[in-house]
Amino acid sequence: MNLQIIGKEAVLASQVLQKLSTQEKNAALIACAEALVASSKELVAANAEDVAAAKKKGVSEALVDRLRLSDERIRSMAEGIRQVCELPDPVGEVMSENVRPNGLKITQVRVPLGVIGIIYESRPNVTADAFALCFKTGNAVILRGGSDALRSNLAICRVLQKTLERLQIPENSVQVLTDTSRETAREFMRLRAYVDVLIPRGSAGLIRTVLENSTVPVIETGAGNCHIYVDADANEEMALSIIENAKTQRLGVCNACESLVVHKDIADSFLPKLAKRLSEKQVELRGDKRSREAVATMTPATEEDYATEYLDRILSIRVVDSLTEAIAHINRYHTQHSDCIVTYNAENAKQFLRDVDSAAVYVNASTRFTDGFEFGFGAEIGISTQKLHARGPMGLVALTSYKYLVEGNGQIRG
C-alpha cells in the first residue's frame, strides 16, 4: 500500500466528482444502497471473520456489538445512503455576486473540498455513511477505520467501488486503507499534498492523536462536557425533566449532560428533588461543599470531575452565587459543545446565550438536541467543537469550500 498513490488517485477521482450533476450523484448513491443490500451475504460473511477475530482478541462485548453487521444493519446502512440523496446538494450554489467598478464580475461559488480523510474506530456503518456524505458533496474520501473492522470495511468498499465503476465513475472516489498500522496512520495525517481535510470520529484519545500529528487541516469533533445551569428563576419541574433527559436518555453520547451548575438561591430546594429523581436512574452525584450541604449523600467533586466527560451514570454539581459565576465556570470547564440554562428570566437567558462560548447554547431544552437530524440538517459527518470552518453539527455544507470566478474583458491592475 502506497499512500502517495492513494492520495493521487483520490485527487484524480475528485476532479471527476466535482463535475457530476446532483442527479448523477443521487443515481450513483441509490445504486450503491441497492448493491449493499444485494451483497448482504458476502458483507455479513466478511464481518463474521472480523467479529470472530475480535472476540478471540478479547474485545469487549460492547465494541463487538458496534462492529457486528447483520442483514438488518445493512438495510439500515442503505437507508442512510438513501436519506443522503434526499438532502439538497450545496455544490454549485452561488454564495455572492459582485461587479466591481472596473467591470470585473466576481462570483463566489460553492465547490467540494476535494479529498476528505476520515479516521474512525471499528464501526463498519461509518464506512458507508462517510462515503455517502462525501460523495454527495462531490468529494473523494479516504477511509482509515479501526483494524478490527478491516475485512468488513474492505468488503463494503469493494461493493461501492464496483458500483461506481459500473456507472463509469472513478472507483477511487472511495478508498479504504488496507494497512491499519499506527505508522501508516501518521503518514496519512501528513498527506497534505493530497488531502484537504481530516475528520477524526471516535474517542477523545483518537482525536487527540490526530490533532497532535496531523499537518492536514483537521476538524475536531466529538468531546462533549456539556453543562446545564439551573438559574434562581427556574421552573424546577422543567429543570428536573431536562436534566434527567440530557443525562440519562443516552449515556455514551457527546451531547449528554455531564455537569450541573445551580444558583445558590434555588439549591436547597432543588437539589434534594434532583437527587431523588436521578437516584431512580442510578446516577451518582458528585458535588462541591454547598451541593453536599443540600444533599448530604453526595460524593465530593474534585477539580478533575468538573473537567470530565463521564459518558456514564455520574453527574458533577456546583453551586454558584450568580449567573456570571455560572458562565465563568462553564466557559472554564466545558468543551464548547452544548450548554443550557434553565430559567424563565429573559434577561438571564439573553446573557447566557451571548456569553457562553459553545457550538450550541440552549435555553430551556435538553442538550441532547445537538444533532444533525434534530437541527434539520439531516445526516451529519460529526459535531465540530472547534470554531474554524464549521461549528456544531456538520451537515453537507461543512463538506464544501468555495472559489471565486473572476470574469473580465482584459482588465489589468494600475
Residues making contact with a copy of itself (CB under 8 A): 15, 18-19, 98, 100, 104, 106, 111, 113-114, 192, 196-197, 211-212, 215, 217-219, 235, 238, 241-242, 244-246, 249, 331, 349, 353-355, 357-366, 368-370, 374-376, 386-389, 391-392, 401-413
CB 227, min distance to a copy of itself, A: 14
Please give the radius of gyration of the chain, using alpha carbons only, rounded to the nearest integer: 24
Angle at 382 between CA 381 and CA 388, to 5 degrees: 105
Quick one: cell of 370? 445537538
Query: Of 30 and 109, which has the nearer Cβ to a copy of itself?
Result: 109
| Nearest to 169, CA basis, from 9, 334, 339, 13 | 13
CB 197, min distance to a copy of itself, A: 5
CB 101, min distance to a copy of itself, A: 9
Query: Of 71 and 407, which has the nearer Cβ to a copy of itself?
Result: 407
Angle at 370 between CA 364 and CA 374, to 5 degrees: 95
Query: Of 4 and 178, which has the nearer Cβ to a copy of itself?
Result: 4
**Helix residue ranges per DSSP H, 69-149:** 71-86, 124-136
Query: Of 111 and 266, which has the nearer Cβ to a copy of itself?
Result: 111
CB 170, min distance to a copy of itself, A: 15
DSSP 8-class letter at 379: S
Query: Of 16 and 37, which has the nearer Cβ to a copy of itself?
Result: 16
Residue 132 CB partners (closer than 8 Å, separation 6+): 29, 32, 80, 81, 84, 379
CB 20, min distance to a copy of itself, A: 12
CB 108, min distance to a copy of itself, A: 9
Tell the burial category of 74 from Cβ atoms under 10 Å away from its Cβ (0-12, 13-18, 19+). Answer: buried
| Nearest to 407, CA basis, from 107, 108, 109 | 107
By DSSP bridging, strand 338-342 and strand 314-320 are unpaired
d(CA 108, CA 246) in angstroms, rounded, equals 40
